[in-house]
Amino acid sequence: MIVLGIEGTAHTAGIGIVSEDGVLANVMDMYRPAEGGIHPREAANHHALVYPSLIKKALEVAGIGPEEIDGIAFSQGPGLGPCLRTAATAARVLSLKLNKPIVGVNHCIAHLEIGRFTTGAEDPVMLYVSGGNTQIISYAAGRYRVFGETLDIGIGNMLDKLAREMGIPFPGGPKIEKLAQMGEKYIPLPYSVKGMDIAFSGLLTAAITKIGKERKEDIAYSVQETAFSMLTEITERALTHLKKDEILLAGGVARNKRLREMVSIMAEEREARMYVPPDDLCIDNGAMIAYLGLLFLKNGVKMRLEDTLVIQKFRTDAVEIPWEVKKHHRVYEHAPGAEAVIEHAGFLNRQVVKKIRIEKKYRTEELDMFLRKTRTRKEARIIHELKMKGIRTPIIYDISMDTIVMEKIEGKVISEIFNSFSKSEAEKIIRKIANILAKLHNAGYSHGDFTTGNMILKDGAIVLIDFGMAEKNADTENKAVDLVMFEETFRAAHYPHLDILPVFFEEYRKAGDPRVLAQMDEIKGRRRYV
């Protein structure tokens, strides 16, 4: 089977042709604004002008005639509306002219599948980093699911905005990378990680204030070191959560050598494998659209023309995957932690656990030391304070610069047993979880990594653990992130009980602050995928 794919989600118009054996052609033309960022209608006009010549060129590169095409695929979303509609129109015209089946595909999944196809990765966690996209995606129970994503802007947009403030034209990311290579001084900047979610606005604002006060090279270096450390950390957290040992990088920012180096160091430290597609398949391209279309068409999925309307906010987990995604032969039963290791020991005739925040060699030494020290102290303090407020947490026995010695909780981690519960048992537990979170928030705290993996069920009660990213005197935004994170990870990990997720919010609404729920909706509304 041979499929032609049309990419048009943002600045790049791409045409790709693939067969089941490989990529036959992958040609593209990028819209480059005279100033500022992407202007959607101007980008769409650019795409309309270049698609005919790109199609002709792709056929020539592939060495085939139009009649040899078996199907047409196009990027249905997510993306910029005018650009998506232009790509869809081109695909419909080709489908009608050649009398070939048509299928619209999800742009994010296309990145993942072309990565699997060209690198040999089997069941990876994908770090997807591009202009408007920053997501952690992996397969679970028939769908690709989002385990974490940006709470505000994409990493590529952040780098482009910083570049514009420095007087660098679009696209600014590659120029920032070159400047960073000449950086000599690390400038402390906001580090905003919430479990597997991430935020860049504070980092960007702080970096902009340094322009004119610090060397541009040092600003670029510090921004990359901070932002890429954040990305590497949430990727490692997803590997731990999912007990997987394959990492796939995708998106235009995946071409950055320093990001690749950081993720590679992290992968090596935990004996995982890192995969990166060729550069022309990292950026937005038609070949990935064609390949994903081929998979759908091979599995009997095609569309009527009236079903090919674009979906500007096309969620990754809205797509049912009709083909098998084989699990990697090696699955961690006891996956290494994302930022700490747990040791079981004895202390004053008690059984305890030692939580040790280990050195992360992918981070610059100054940043690594700061995070380990501040997170350890903050976690110990908050665990103790919450116990005083009636929330079940472990007893703290000792603390050092990077180690907390605490009570060993004899129970079951809820993430490991929740899917085996009956509906009534699951409802009972989820109501307890909602009330605990409301109590935590009402006391003025946020958890920062509120997932069922950080809850232990002991004698019918829930004990909360892992407060390394918790906040005291938390604002509404931080509290809302707890809700967003719980919903994201619950949907991804506990799909057998998705029908009871509304029970969680019903219970939280009774006991918690309605402003937090409203802020949750505001956060989700910022995203392109809702």
Query: Known catalytic residues?
Result: 449
Total count of residues recorded for the chain: 530
Distance CA 110, CA 14 (A): 13
**Contact by Cβ (8 Å): 225, 367:** yes
Tokens describing residue 312: 């500007």
Q: What value, to the nearest 5°, has the Cα angle with vertex 319 and ends 315 and 324?
A: 135
Burial, 509: exposed, middle or buried (Cβ in 10 Å; 0-12, 13-18, 19+)?
middle
Q: What is the 3-state secondary structure (H, E, C) of 167-236?
A: CCCCCCHHHHHHHHCCCCCCCCCCCCEECCEECCHHHHHHHHHHECCECHHHHHHHHHHHHHHHHHHHHH
Is 285 within 8 Å of 12 (Cβ atoms)? yes
Please count the other Cβ atoms lying within 10 Å of the Cβ belonging to residue 271.
10
281-to-119, 160, 185 alpha-carbon distances in Å: 11, 20, 33
Q: Residues 316, 317, 318, CA angle at the centre, nearest 5°?
A: 90
Angle at 439 between CA 150 and CA 230, to 5 degrees: 20
Half-sphere exposure of 421 (CA within 13 A, CB side): 21
Which residue type does 479 have? K
Q: Is residue 146 within 8 Å of 315, Cβ to Cβ?
A: yes
Show the CA angle centred on residue 182, arms to residues 180 and 187, nearest 5°. 60
Written as six digits, the tokens of 409 are: 């909780």
**Partners of 193 in beta bridges:** 198
Q: Using an 8 Å Cβ cutoff, are 77 and 106 in contact?
A: yes
Measure CA 253 to chain center.
Answer: 13
Q: Which pairs from 363-368 meet CB under 8 Å and 24+ separation? A: 363/225, 363/229, 363/232, 363/262, 364/186, 364/225, 364/229, 366/186, 366/188, 367/186, 367/188, 367/191, 367/225, 367/226, 367/229
- Number of Cβ within a 10 Å radius of residue 247: 26
Q: Measured over all CA atoms, what is the biggest interatomic distance in the chain, rounded to whole angstroms?
A: 80
Please state, in angstroms and as integers, the Cα–Cα distance from residue 224 to each residue in 15, 57, 215, 218, following that order: 31, 37, 14, 10
Q: Which residues pair with 22 in a beta bridge?
A: 19
Q: How many angstroms separate the Cα of 105 from the Cα of each of 8, 251, 252, 307, 463?
A: 12, 16, 19, 12, 42
